[in-house]
Every structure is written in structure tokens, then in C-alpha cells.
Amino acid sequence: MGQRTTLSVIKADVGSIAGHHMPHPDQLAVCTKVLAEAKRRGVIIDFYVTHVGDDIQLLMTHTKGVDSSEIHGLAWEAFKEATKVSKELGLYAAGQDLLSEAFSGNLRGMGPGVAEVEFEERPSEPIITFHADKTEPGAFNLPLFRVFADPFNTAGLVIDPKMHEGFIFEVFDVYEGKSVKLSAPDEMYDILALIGTQGRYIIRRVFRKADGLITAVVSTERLNLIAGRYVGKDDPVAIVRTQHGLPAVGEVLEAFAFPHLVAGWMRGSHFGPLMPVPQRYAKVTRFDGPPRIIALGWQVKEGKLIGPADLFDDVAFDETRRIAQTIAEYMRRHGPFMPHRLGPEEMEYTTLPQVLKKLEDRFVKISPPPVGVHKREA
Ligand code: F6R
Ligand code: MG
Ligand code: MG
């Protein structure tokens, strides 16, 4: 029996250089210091610190299970230290994602994004962690559906006996705070009916049907729903276990070869293509984007994080990036028009109520209403 290990990926935007571009190296250094000290004390087994765009990413392995207050507290301490650096250096939006002053035992609902998985290590445990900026958790819906339910993406669904029964998707309703488990392929159309509304129904976890093995976890925090105001997009993370009866690394990455449109980008209020990039391009400049994602490949051995392999650092993804550039160009030409700009209910902030108020007296009723004017409920 392998060791029971927990992998916690916790991220937050606590300030960055030149607007919402990228953290300062000193912020990453203080996070590294906090986690190195925790490793020395034996609180965690291993860790890795990086960033995507303006979000600091903490990866930690330990044996304390998911939702451990000790581990969440550690991440909180690291982000607090990074916020201190932000304030000292006058970085932009210092402490942005820390919605509360004091830590109260669990990070959920406090601002940072959290994806955690506890598992019994297989003899070899290949894992991919995904980290995105300028988008939201629903950005994972399309690729994860394709990985775990589309045989045109994942050959293993057809030819690997361990995967042939399919997978269970846990779909989370972020408005109601409840989730439902649905089975693929048999309930595939029900799954799609929900997750096509990616701002509301989010794939939270995926399990192998044959034995219930947990295979994927997504951070489902939506900051603005928590805070009740604009505080930035929710820049999600995900963990996917791979190989040996699970989708192969290449099958998981293949789902990102199509740069699908995701909500986020400038002011969290525009649709744009999700561009898979190597770590060195994990910073956002064109119209604060376009939305970006990196994939880090790991082997987890007795809790040790062996890696990372920078998985999108491959010329085979050049064409995806080129198409993403073309889509970015095409979408940008729409300026303030939908569907480049999000619909009013999904925008992070809007002047529409003020504009309507200002024009209140200048709207004149056309009477009788011309044919084709819809009657709407008041
Ligand atoms: C989107 C993002 C940026 C900012 C934009 C405006 O997630 O972080 O696009 O929304 O730079 O920033 P403020 O409102 O802080 O001037
Ligand atoms: Mg920011
Ligand atoms: Mg961000």
C-alpha cells in the first residue's frame, strides 16, 4: 500500500508590478521562506512556489488531508507576508484576494483559490497541476469534459479496460452552493446541459467509475460572489492525476489544444481564448491578457514533488497559440460589443445602472408600441 498523501494547490493575487501583470520576485521569495520553514518543521513534506500572471501559486504536499487548518493557515501566512512586500514596494492591488483581516481556520470563502486532493500513492504517481490567470473556474469545464468523456479526445476511454466504464463528474452550482454527481457516458447530455453554463455550473471533481478513484479537482471559488463586489476574476487551479488506468498525460493536454473562449481578460468582463503557455510566457500584457494557462507535470513519491516539467513548453502547442492570437485579434475588434464584452449579469463592474439613471427622463415611450416589442414581466 502506498503512502496517503495530500496535494494542496492554493493561490492568491496579493499585488503585482505594473497593474495586474505579475508578482515581484521578492513576493515569491517570502512565500518560499515561509514554506521552507514549514518543511523544516515537518508540517509539510515538500512545496513549490510559482506564479501565473499576477497570481502566486503555492503547491504543498503533506499528510494532513484536505481542508487542514494548519495547511490553510500556512498558505494564509505566506500570502500575508507577500502582501507586506506589496505594501512596502507599493505594488498594485496589494492584498487584493485576502478578503478578511484574520484567518479563521479554513481558506474557503476567504479569497484564495484552493484545489486539494488526498490519495494513496500508486507505485508511480504522475500528476498535472494547471494554473490559469484572467479567467474563472468554469474555464476548465470544456477541457475536463473532453478529457474524461470524449473518446475523440481520450483514446483510453475506448481502449483502456480500467477507463472503459467512464467517469463520474461532480458539478457544483456556485449560486446555490450545492453539487450533483453525474455519470459519463450515460448522463453525458445532462452533464453538458449544466456545464455549458460555465459561469454557474462548474466541474468540481472527477472520479473513475470502476472504483471511485479521485482523478481531478478544480478550485471553485468565485471571488466576486464571495465578496459581493468586483475584486478580480477567480483565476482557477486544477489537479489531474494521470496514466495507468487514467487518461495519459498527452490525453489530458490534448484537450487544451483548442483555445476555447473563456470569461475573464480585461476587467474580468470579456470573452477571450485560453492560451496554453510555458512558464516563461505566464504573464499577461495584451489588453491584460489574453487568458493564460500553464501545466506543470510532477511525479509524487512519498510526498516528494519531483519536477516540474513545463508541459506546454512544446512547439506542438505553437499552432494553438497562433490560433489563440488570431481569435484574440478577432474578438478585440468587437470593442465594447457582446459577445466579446460579457453580458450585463456577468460583468465584474458596469456603468449601465448609472447610464440608465442619467437617461431616465430622456427615454420617451413610443405609443402605440411598434409591432415586435416584447411584453416583459415587470
Ligand atoms: C482582470 C484584471 C485586469 C484589471 C484591469 C483594471 O482580472 O486583473 O484586467 O481588471 O487592469 O484594473 P483596475 O480596476 O484595478 O484599474
Ligand atoms: Mg491582480
Ligand atoms: Mg490574476
Ligand nearest to the backbone CA of 282: 3
Name beta bridge partners: 310. 296
Cα–Cα distance, 101 to 98 (Å, whole number): 7
Q: What is the CA radius of gyration of the chain?
A: 21
| Ligand 3 centroid – CA 292 distance (Å) | 10
CA of 222 to the centre of ligand 2 (A): 15
Task: State in Å: Cα 98 to ligand 2 middle.
Answer: 12
Residue nearest to atom 13 of ligand 1 (CA): 267
Q: Lowest-pLDDT range, 49-58, 156-165, 214-223? A: 214-223
- Specify the pLDDT at position 136: 94
In this structure, which ligand is nearest to the CA of 290? 1
Cell digits for 327? 481569435
Kindly compute the dihedral angle of the four CA atoms of residues 136, 173, 202, 146, in this order, to the nearest 10 degrees.
-150
Ligand that comes closest to the CA of residue 264: 1
**What integer pLDDT is reported at residue 366 of this predicted model?**
87
CA–centroid distance, 13 to ligand 3, in Å, is 6
Atom 6 of ligand 1: nearest residue by CA position: 267
- DSSP of 253-282: HHTTSS--EEEESGGG-EEEE-EE--GGG-
Pocket residues: Cβ below 6 A from ligand 1: 19-20, 93, 134, 232-233, 266-268, 288
What are the tens digits of pLDDT across the range 281-315? 999 999 999 999 999 999 999 999 999 999 999 99
Q: How far is the CA of 14 from the centre of ligand 2 (A)?
A: 7
Distances (CA, A) of 79 to 12, 99, 116: 7, 12, 18
> Is the bond into 23 cis (omega within 30 degrees of 0)?
no
Catalytic residues: 13, 230, 233
Q: What pLDDT is recorded for position 378? A: 47
Give the number of the atom of ligand 1 that is nearest the alpha carbon of residue 134.
7
Specify the pLDDT at position 368: 80
Q: Which atom of ligand 1 is nearest to the CA of 233?
A: 7
pLDDT of the residue at 225:
65
Q: Is the pLDDT of residue 375 over 80?
A: no
Residue of 51, 267, 283, 292 with the most ligand 1 atoms within 8 Å of its CB, for mutation: 267
pLDDT digits (tens, 9 = 90+) for 75-113: 999 999 999 999 999 999 999 989 888 898 899 888 899
pLDDT digits (tens, 9 = 90+) for 169-209: 999 998 888 999 999 999 999 999 999 999 999 999 999 99
Is the whole model's pTM more than 0.85, yes or no? yes
Q: Which of 14, 52, 270, 288 to mutate to test the pocket of ligand 1 (most atoms within 8 A of CB)?
A: 288
**Ligand 1 pocket mutation, candidates 266, 332, 341, criterion most atoms within 8 A of CB:** 266
CA distance 363 to 378: 17
